[in-house]
Every structure is written in C-alpha cells, then in structure tokens.
C-alpha cells in the first residue's frame, strides 16, 4: 500500500496505464506523430484519423455527436469560451446571466468580469445543507433579458448533483441558453445529452484518468441560437485553439472516455460502496458531520467537518492520507470554502473540513486503513489536548 494514500481524485486522477500506453504511440518517429493538418501524406492522415476516432469516443460517453465536440485545454477554458463567447454574441439584446454561488472559480471569475463590463449576474444561493439549486429559485430569477444559465452538474467540493434535466427543460421553455460544467460528473454518473436540453457542456480529461491539459466543450448542433457557427471560427479540425492539435493528448482523452464508458457500470456501484463504507466507519467519531447530500451526490466525494479540529491540524495529524481541505483551487489559501459558506455552514466548521475523494485505483484495504487511521489519529489528538 502506497503512503500517503491518494484520496484526492476530485482534484485530479492518475492517468490510467491503458491510456498512457496508448498515448506513447502518438509521439515518436515510429508512432503516429504527424500534424493532423498535413493533407499531403499519410503521417497527417493517420493523425487526423486518430482525432476523429477520439472525438467519437468522447461523444459516445456523453450521448453527443462527434461534430458537437470541440477541444480545449481543459474545463476552465471550456467554461470561459462558453460563457464569454455567448455573452458577446448576444450582448446587443440581452444582459442577464444566472449562475450559482457554488460554481467552480473559473465560472465565478468570468461572471465577475462580465459584470464589470455591464452584464447583470444573479448568483443563486443553494439550498441550505444539501447545496442543491432549487428550480423555483431559478424560475424566480429569470428576467426578460436573461440569455444564459450556467450551473454545474456535480459540485467539486461536496459532490451534490443538480437536476440538470429539469433545469434544461426550464431553460428551453424560457428560451435561455443552458451551460453545464460537468467536469466532476462525466464518467461518474450517466449523462445522455440527447435526452437533455443542454446547449453547452464543459468537461475535462484529467478528472477521468486521462492526461492533463486537454478538455472539451459540447456545443449543441440544434441549439436555438446557432451557437456553434458563431462561437468559434470553424476550421477543419473543429478546434478552438486554431493551431496544431495535441494528438497524443486527444487520443489519451478518447481512450480514457472509452474506458469510462465500458467500466462505469461496475465502477459506480464500487465507488458508492466504498463511500458508504468510509462514512459508516467514520460517523461514530464525536463531532463529525457530513456536508452535502449523501444520496444526491456523486459516488466518489465525501465531505466532512469535525467539530473542534481545524483543517491545518487535520492535514498534519492525517499525514498518511493525501486529502484536500476543500477544492484544490481553494486549499492553497486559508480562507474557508465559499461553497460551504454558501450552504450555511458556519465559518468555524467550514475551516474544519476535509474532502475525501476516491477513484478507480482505490482499494478496500486503503479504505479500511483510512477509517482506522482517521479514528486513531483523532483519538490521539483529543487525548493529547485533554491532558494538556
Ligand atoms: C476541475 C474542475 C474544473 C477545471 O477543469 P480543468 O480541466 O482543470 O481546467 C472546472 N470545474 C469543475 C467543477 C472542476 O471540478
């Protein structure tokens, strides 16, 4: 068992060995290293075919058509393109965007920037405790100049799953573009874009056992407003980066998505089982509390708070576990999590919070070890402070 045990799959996942093996074949002189834009020889054609295949694999996992996928450097860029480009496209007539307080920083930042440029932003407060976005609150926020609703599918800190199917219906009925950040949910819970009214969807490769630095944006073909044509200038590889596509990255992402599609139906129950086991083992610790909604959340995230122990101490006493004090992006600073604050968790408790996230390579042995290790460490800590 490798120590520290990796329990931070929600911030990034290791590349699946099957993925890295595949990627290696797209780099060197004996592999398919050509420029997909090279039209005059087989090196280029092979590279282009590899991209076509990867795009199909990605589309297939989310129920999209190949032509509806564009490649980006990751979900951060996808979020930026989706929100910024839609806004500038429609700014003559529409001014209002609806989002929520629990979105990823990349969404919140771009919305804040647009606000400074004159757009109006409504940030919905999620339901206290479970963190879900209530449909009634969305409906109440809609104005005559609302053109975009941007909400995440699953939250990266507490794992809560929003009802994107019904939010999509609501958007359609009100003629509003719907953007979904699905970075945490793709491959973790089933998504079928054919059955949903989603216009734009962001996703990443490195949250699903693919390489970092590559991601995608789904742009619905039959969107009311013809987004695709306007959002980016089409070139023959459907990429927004305009330059040479990173074939090895794209092939890696394709393979990762293919594997996810094949494995998710026994991977999901396995992860739910581990998460349940983890919580069952930990919940007897006095002063422990679970954040978010255990049932309406993705199978790999468990967010817990401890009364009386701040997370700097927690990280120190739990040094055999690689865990996060919130999301990766906010664990660097000492501010308590804005996601937890927005679901009504007081500042103190929010500072005493850990996110445990599990994944494909988590083992039963690691779960058992972690439960015992956390229990013992906290017991020792409490004993130490009692005897002071
Ligand atoms: C990780 C994450 C992102 C950013 O994805 P990158 O591919 O790392 O840019 C955006 N949104 C959510 C919800 C995430 O979890």
Residue 235: what pLDDT? Answer: 44
Residue 340 confidence (pLDDT): 87
Does the pLDDT of residue 161 top 60, yes or no? yes
Query: Can you give the pLDDT at residue 387?
Result: 67
Write down the pLDDT at residue 95.
94
Which residues have a catalytic role annotated?
A: 329
- State whether 229 and 370 are in the same domain: no
| pLDDT: which is higher, 295 or 50 | 50
Average pLDDT of every residue of the chain = 91
Closest CA to 72 of 243, 189, 194: 243
**Residue (of 285, 287, 282, 332) closest to 302 by Cα position:** 282
Cβ 106 under 6 angstroms from ligand 1: yes
Question: Looking at residue 334, what is its pLDDT?
Answer: 57
Domain match, 254 and 269 both: no
Is the pLDDT reported for residue 242 higher than 70?
A: no
Q: What is the pLDDT of residue 236?
A: 45
CB 7 within 8 A of CB 323: yes
89: confidence class by pLDDT, cuts 50, 70, 90: confident
End of a domain among 211, 227, 258? 258
Residues 134-152: what's their mean pLDDT?
97
Per the omega criterion (within 30 degrees of 0), is the bond before 243 cis?
A: no
The winner for highest mean pLDDT among 86-95, 275-284, 343-352 is 275-284
Q: What is the pLDDT of residues 196-240, one digit of tens each?
A: 999 999 999 999 999 999 999 999 987 755 555 555 544 444 555
* End-to-end C-alpha distance for the chain, whole angstroms: 34
Host domain of residue 281: 5-12+264-386
Residue 136 Cα to ligand 1 midpoint, Å, equals 27
Based on the fold, state whether residues 27 and 95 are members of the same structural domain. Answer: yes
244 and 295 inside one domain: no
Q: Of the residues 258, 280, 311, which one is the last residue of a structural domain?
A: 258
Could you tell me if the CB of 183 is within 6 A of ligand 1? yes
In this structure, are 28 and 155 located in the same domain? Answer: yes
Check if the beta carbon of residue 240 is closer than 8 Å to that of residue 81: yes
Domain end position, chosen among 216, 241, 258: 258
> What is the whole-number distance in angstroms between the Cα of residue 305 and the centre of ligand 1?
23
Determine which residue's CA is closest to atom 5 belonging to ligand 1.
Answer: 75
233 and 273 inside one domain: no
Separation CA 252–CA 110 (nearest Å): 29
Predicted confidence at residue 85, as pLDDT, reads 86
CATH code, domain carrying 294? 3.90.1150.10
| 137/278 same-domain check | no
Instruction: Looking at the structure, tell me whether residues 240 and 284 fall in a common domain.
Output: no
Residue closest to 79 by CA, chosen among 116, 114, 125:
114
Higher-pLDDT residue of 144, 386: 144
Segment 41-46 mean pLDDT: 96
Tokens of 206: 């490195």
Q: What is the mean pLDDT of residues 268-281?
A: 97
CATH number of the domain that residue 246 is part of: 3.40.640.10
* Number of domains forming the structure of the chain: 2
* pLDDT confidence band for 241 (50 / 70 / 90): low
Q: Which atom of ligand 1 is nearest to the CA of 207?
A: 1
Question: What pLDDT, on the 0 to 100 scale, is given for residue 333?
Answer: 53
Q: 314-366, pLDDT tens digit by residue?
A: 889 999 999 998 644 454 555 678 888 888 888 878 888 999 999 999 999 99
Judgement on whether residues 234 and 288 belong to the same structural domain of the protein: no
Please indicate, yes or no, whether residues 184 and 36 belong to a single structural domain of this protein.
Answer: yes
**Whether 236 and 341 share a structural domain:** no
DSSP class of 82: I
The verdict on 145 and 254 lying in the same domain is: yes
């Amino acid at each position: 068992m490798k120590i520290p045990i990796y329990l931070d799959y929600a911030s990034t996942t290791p590349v699946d060995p099957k993925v890295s093996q595949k990627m290696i074949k797209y780099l060197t002189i004996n592999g398919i290293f050509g420029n997909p834009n090279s039209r005059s020889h087989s090196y280029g054609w092979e590279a282009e075919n590899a991209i076509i295949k990867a795009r199909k694999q990605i589309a297939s996992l989310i129920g999209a058509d190949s032509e509806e996928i564009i490649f980006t450097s990751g979900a951060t860029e996808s979020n930026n393109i989706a929100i910024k480009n839609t806004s500038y496209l429609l700014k003559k007539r529409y001014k209002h965007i609806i989002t929520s307080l629990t979105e990823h920083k990349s969404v919140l930042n771009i919305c804040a920037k647009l606000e400074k440029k004159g757009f109006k932003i409504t940030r919905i407060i999620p339901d206290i405790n479970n963190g879900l976005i209530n449909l009634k609150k969305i409906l109440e926020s809609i104005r005559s100049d609302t053109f975009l609703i941007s909400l995440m599918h699953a939250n990266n800190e507490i794992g809560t799953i929003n009802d994107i199917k019904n939010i999509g219906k609501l958007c359609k009925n009100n003629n509003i573009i719907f953007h979904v950040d699905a970075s945490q949910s793709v491959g973790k819970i089933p998504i079928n874009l054919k059955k949903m009214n989603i216009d734009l969807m962001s996703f990443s490769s490195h949250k699903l056992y693919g390489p970092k630095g590559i991601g995608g944006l789904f742009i619905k073909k039959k969107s009311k407003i013809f987004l695709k044509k306007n959002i980016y200038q089409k070139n023959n590889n459907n990429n927004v980066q305009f330059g040479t596509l990173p074939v090895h990255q794209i092939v890696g992402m394709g393979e990762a998505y293919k594997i996810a599609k094949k494995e998710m139906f026994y991977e999901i129950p396995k992860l739910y089982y581990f998460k349940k086991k983890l919580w069952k083992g930990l919940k007897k610790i006095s002063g422990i509390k679970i954040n978010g909604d255990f049932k309406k959340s993705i199978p790999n995230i468990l967010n817990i708070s401890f009364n009386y122990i701040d997370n700097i101490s927690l990280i120190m006493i739990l040094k055999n576990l690689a865990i996060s004090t919130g999301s990766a992006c906010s664990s660097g600073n000492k501010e308590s999590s804005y996601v937890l604050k927005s679901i009504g968790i007081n500042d103190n408790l929010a500072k005493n919070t850990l996110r445990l996230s599990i994944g494909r390579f988590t083992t039963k042995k690691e779960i058992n070890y972690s439960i015992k290790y956390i229990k013992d460490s906290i017991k020792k800590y409490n004993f130490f402070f009692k005897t002071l």
